[in-house]
């Protein structure tokens, strides 16, 4: 089967690799993409459909793996073309956004599957899981049968896979944002050394590692925190914590594409800057 993937970033290219391992041909669209994306696609043998119109014409399945704030626009871009196949949204979006996209896909005569990825890029077995929900979840799961990305079906209801992703990331990425804010505050107040001593060397080292290593992807997590906040609000829970986490990650966006992992002092300095309103 021909499968189109939008777009092969670090996570998306590993999703594409599992689809290839499972016997399918993967297409992508080079138009408007970065040199890094082109290099990844060429390295892993993705075929260039040149345009989105051509991709949806030749691919009965389209898989979306993109930053969460682009997920809905990307789906609508696909739906401007006569696509009536299976659309798998594997983005970190709120369940209500997944339902909204799913309704738009359904209204155009296509089939929607809700997906949520837990774990990093899927290059090793038993490290990354794609959770799926929707009436065609079984069909979507068959695209990934050979691994190493593993699939788990969580039901027929659109939004359930996204809900699980939101709750999981609320802890993993939310606590890293909290640690970042704690360390920056302790630095400002002159008690960071004492705090780290109270934590103990093992926990202090782990906190430092998490804060430094999250910087490369922090720009992506701003939108994800906003989606988590919306998920909490819809469930009747306070959304302020993850809205603040999004602000914390936005202060790290200058580290995107940095040649090396920054020192902790650099990260804390960026966090102490006056918040810059994002465009």
Determine the pLDDT at residue 141.
Answer: 98
Is residue 190 scored above 50 in pLDDT? yes
274 pLDDT band, cuts 50/70/90, is low
Determine the pLDDT at residue 273.
Answer: 80
pLDDT (tens digit, 9 = 90+) per residue, 35-50?
Answer: 888 999 999 999 999 9
Mean pLDDT of the chain: 96
The predicted model gives 223-249 an average pLDDT of 98
Reported pTM: 0.93
Is residue 277 scored above 70 in pLDDT? no
Contacts 24+ apart (CB under 8 A), 208-212: 208/183, 208/264, 210/176, 210/179, 211/176, 211/179, 211/180, 211/183, 211/264, 211/267, 212/261, 212/262, 212/263, 212/264, 212/267
pLDDT (tens digit, 9 = 90+) per residue, 103-162?
Answer: 999 999 999 999 999 999 999 999 999 999 999 999 999 999 999 999 999 999 999 999
Is residue 278 scored above 50 in pLDDT? no
Is residue 260 scored above 90 in pLDDT? yes
Which domains does the chain possess? Answer: 2-157 (3.40.50.720), 163-272 (1.10.1040.10)
Determine the pLDDT at residue 34.
Answer: 87
* Neighbour order of strands in the sheet with 150-153: 47-48, 25-28, 2-6, 61-64, 86-89, 111-118, 129-133, 150-153
């Amino acid at each position: 089967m021909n499968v189109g993937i939008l777009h092969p970033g670090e996570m998306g290219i590993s999703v594409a690799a599992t689809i290839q391992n499972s016997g399918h041909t993967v297409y992508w669209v080079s138009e408007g993409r970065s040199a890094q994306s082109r290099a990844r696609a060429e390295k892993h043998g993705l075929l260039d459909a040149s345009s989105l119109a051509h991709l949806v014409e030749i691919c009965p399945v389209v898989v979306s793996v993109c930053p969460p704030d682009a997920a809905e626009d990307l789906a609508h871009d696909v739906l401007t073309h006569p696509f009536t196949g299976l659309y798998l949204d594997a983005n970190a979006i709120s369940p209500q956004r997944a339902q909204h996209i799913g309704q738009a896909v359904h209204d155009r005569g296509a089939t929607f599957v809700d997906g949520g990825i837990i774990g990093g890029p899927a290059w090793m077995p038993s490290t990354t899981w794609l959770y799926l929900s929707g009436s065609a979840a079984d069909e979507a799961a068959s695209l990934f049968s050979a691994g190493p990305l593993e699939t788990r079906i969580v039901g027929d209801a659109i939004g359930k896979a996204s809900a699980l992703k939101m709750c999981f990331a609320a802890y993993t990425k939310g606590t890293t944002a909290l640690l970042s804010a704690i360390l920056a505050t302790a630095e400002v107040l002159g008690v960071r050394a004492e705090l780290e001593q109270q934590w103990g060397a093992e926990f202090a080292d782990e906190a430092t590692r998490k804060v430094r290593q999250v910087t490369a992807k922090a720009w992506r997590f701003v939108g994800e925190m906003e989606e988590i906040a919306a998920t909490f609000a819809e469930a009747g829970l306070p959304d302020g914590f993850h809205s603040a986490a999004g602000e914390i990650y936005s202060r790290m966006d200058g580290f995107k594409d940095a040649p090396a992992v920054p020192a902790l002092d650099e990260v804390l300095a960026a966090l102490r800057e006056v918040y810059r309103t994002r465009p």
